[in-house]
Structure 1
């Protein structure tokens, strides 16, 4: 969600605390009311994008708490997904019955998926991992590749 265009992003980052009416200044009352109004608007927008089940769960949450919990939940899921893909990329070996094209496409899929998850590693590392996944009868190709020292992209490999 992007609330920056209306300057409402702060309600996702700043917790709305209860106020003590005996010690609060008029300026703080205005700020508190503005924050409440903005939080209500942002909350409605967020809720409108959720499934009914999630709406029922988060209906009494302010946007700050809602955002914090959702980010924690999906961050954990993304971490597990990243781990699974890295594991598949590193442990995947081409079998004898498989074509090189099919194997390289699967490895490219893993690399692309990691890039979508904001895992930053350079293309040379990806190429090295893919070359390592090839069976031993590709050793001559791998040696020739390293001896050429030409810049090669993953798609050119």
Structure 2
């Protein structure tokens, strides 16, 4: 942030600062939301790749969208992660869906690491 812009935000709380910056740079925020949601919806784990970095990356995308004012429902975020997995995780996905788990995303990550 340049010094003049920083001075404008010195006495603002984080939320107010974000809202002000969005007003100043609406097209950049919109483009960022587009790129992040595109990456999230197109994410796929390739067979044999480690699950941890993949799911962590997806969690960061979900959290970034929330920070940009576009929170995803917990169930939708979970479904996106499960749908990004290769066929070798189909048994896990079926068991998870049948047991009606609605775990927070970090717990889902831990369950997937155990299943790996």
TM-score by length of 1: 0.54
Deviations, residues 41-79 of structure 1 (Å, cap 9, x unaligned):
xxxxxxx6338xxxxxxxxxxxxxxxx9x82x5111100
1:106 aligns with 2:53: no
Q: Secondary structure at the match of 1:155?
A: helix
| Aligned mates of 1:79, 1:111 — CA distance in 2 | 15
Contact 2:44–2:86 (CA under 8 A) maintained in structure 1: yes
| Aligned mates of 1:50, 1:109 — CA distance in 2 | 27
1:131 aligns with 2:82: yes
Contact 2:47–2:88 (CA under 8 A) maintained in structure 1: no
Does 1 or 2 have the higher relative contact order (CA < 8 Å, sep 6+)?
Answer: 2
The total of aligned residue pairs comes to 93
Cα RMSD after superposing both structures:
2.2
1:116 aligns with 2:71: no
Bigger Rg, structure 1 or 2: 1
TM-fit CA distance, 1:97: 4.1
TM-score by length of 2: 0.72
Residue aligning to 2:5: 50
1:152 aligns with 2:107: no
Unaligned 5+ segments in structure 1 are: 1-47, 52-67
Unaligned 5+ segments in structure 2 are: 7-19, 109-116
Deviations, residues 86-107 of structure 1 (Å, cap 9, x unaligned):
0000001001242011111111
